[in-house]
Structure formats: structure tokens, C-alpha cells
Structure 1
């Protein structure tokens, strides 16, 4: 790894942290759900039959198995998802988005996209992060 690689990576980490903070704050404040919950609902909303195996969901949103289990438990408690067992393999557990979960995801989506655009726009004005945002937007 070169010094330049390290600088680029540090910029990515900084940009990611700033954007994630803004997204999490907006989604929580306006819709009462966490960013991971929102992302899980998004993945489930576009999945075939609105369902994913727990491990698939974990991989798609970047969580480990334990974290995704806790996340799904919160979504279930809120009525946004439900669990289902694989008909071919009763050990296989799926999480399935509910109609209420779809409604929450659809309502939160404009907030997410607006906040993402604003956060990237603010970062684009930053002397250090602006060039990185420009590359990412091309």
C-alpha cells in the first residue's frame, strides 16, 4: 500500500462516515427507524416475493449473522417483517417484508435519497473530499 492509497482510503472512510451520519439522523428523525432497518426493508422490498434468507440479508446490508438477527427481531416487533421457514428445508429461515414494512420503506425512501444528495453535495464543496465525490459521481 502506498501513501496515496492510504490517503484515498482515508478520504473514503471520512466521506462514508459523514454521509452515513446524515442518513441515519434523517431516517431516524423523520421515520423512527434506523439506517440498517431502512436498508433491510429496501432489500426486502425488491427481493422476489419480498423475502430473503437471513444470511442473504446480512450479506446485502453488510452485517454479521448476529447483528442481522437482532435487526430482524426489531423489524418483526414493529410489524415491518415476519419470519418464514423454507418449505424445502425447515432449518432455513427467511424474513419477509409486510405491507406495513413496504409502506414505511416507501415513505422513508424520498428522505433517504434527498439526504444522500444533500450530504454528497456538501462533501463535494469540501476541499479534501470534493475530488473524491467528483470521481464517484462520474
Structure 2
């Protein structure tokens, strides 16, 4: 037994499974969205968050927090979405330093068209992982969790 096996905790093993699961699912989602809709996974997630936001707009930092990107990455992401006509920028009327990104009608259409691909690919990827003995316990635990609002 190696030194690592002696120091690995149950939480460490669980987290390793989550990381492995996350990597596999993210890869499959990104591949399917790019192949079928010509958008990346971060672009899709940004469009989803914007489509659910009040008035279809979010501050840049809020969007970054919601999709797990830093400020620099979300700025580049929003620039790509703007170039494609999927979002536009708007200034905050109360605070001129605040910048919002706003989903366009075209952005909504792309998100709605890609949603079934995302949902089907997600289910397929999770079902495939559930069939693997090393990942099945992680999937069982995650799927038993109450749905988040």
C-alpha cells in the first residue's frame, strides 16, 4: 500500500470522483454544443443565466460568479457573445461604472435551440458514469440530493 493510500480520506476519495465526473461530463457537453450549435459550454451557460435573469441582464461580475469564471474570462466571453450578436452591453443607470450584459433575441433563440442538446447530453453522460463502478456511488449520492431552486 502506497503512502497516498494511507492518507486518502473518504472525503478525498469522494472529491476525486466528483472531479472525474465533472471533467467527463464537461467534455461531453462542450463537444455536443460545439458540434451541434457552434457554441462553447461557457457561452451556453452564460446565455442560460441571462435568459433566466430579470430583464435578461446581469452585471458582469454577477455573471462571472454564476458561471464560475473570473472577471477577465467573463469579459472575453461576453466579447465573443457580443460579436456573435447574442448579447449586448448596457451601462447601469444608477452607477455608471457598472456594466451589464443583456441577452438579445438572437441569443435567446440560440439558447432555446441548444437546450435539448444540453439536456440529452447531460443525461447520457451521467447515465454512462452511473454504470461505472468507481463513479456509481457519486452519481447515486448526487441524484438523491434535493433539487436546487
Instruction: Name the TM-score class by shorter chain.
Output: over 0.9
Residue in 1 that maps onto 2:138: 132
The separation in 2 between residues aligned to 1:2 and 1:120, in whole angstroms, is: 25
Question: Gapped runs of 5+ residues in structure 2?
Answer: 1-6, 145-149
- Which runs of no fewer than 5 residues in structure 1 stay unpaired? none
Whose radius of gyration is greater, 1 or 2?
2
Residue deviations 1:26-64, cap 9 Å, x none? 011000000000000000000000000000000000000
Distance in 2 between residues matched to 1:91 and 1:82, nearest whole Å: 16
Name which of 103, 106, 110 aligns with 1:100: 106
Within a 5 Å distance, the mapping from 1:78-117 to structure 2 comes to 78-117=84-123
Q: TM-score, normalised on structure 1? A: 0.98
How big is the alpha-carbon RMSD for the aligned residues of Structure 1 and Structure 2?
1.0
1:131 CA displacement? 1.2
Aligned-partner SS, 2:94: coil
**What per-residue deviation string (whole Å, max 9, x for no partner) do you get for residues 45-100 of structure 1?**
00000000000000000000000000000000000000000111111100000000
The residue number in structure 2 matching 1:75 is 81
TM-score by length of 2: 0.91
Choose 87-96 or 76-85, whichever is displaced more: 87-96
Output the CA distance in 1 between the equivalents of 2:58 and 2:8.
40
> For residue 29 of structure 1, what is the aligned residue in structure 2?
35
Runs of 4+ in 1 over 3 A off after TM superposition: none
Structure 2 Cα separation of the partners of residues 105 and 23 of structure 1: 14
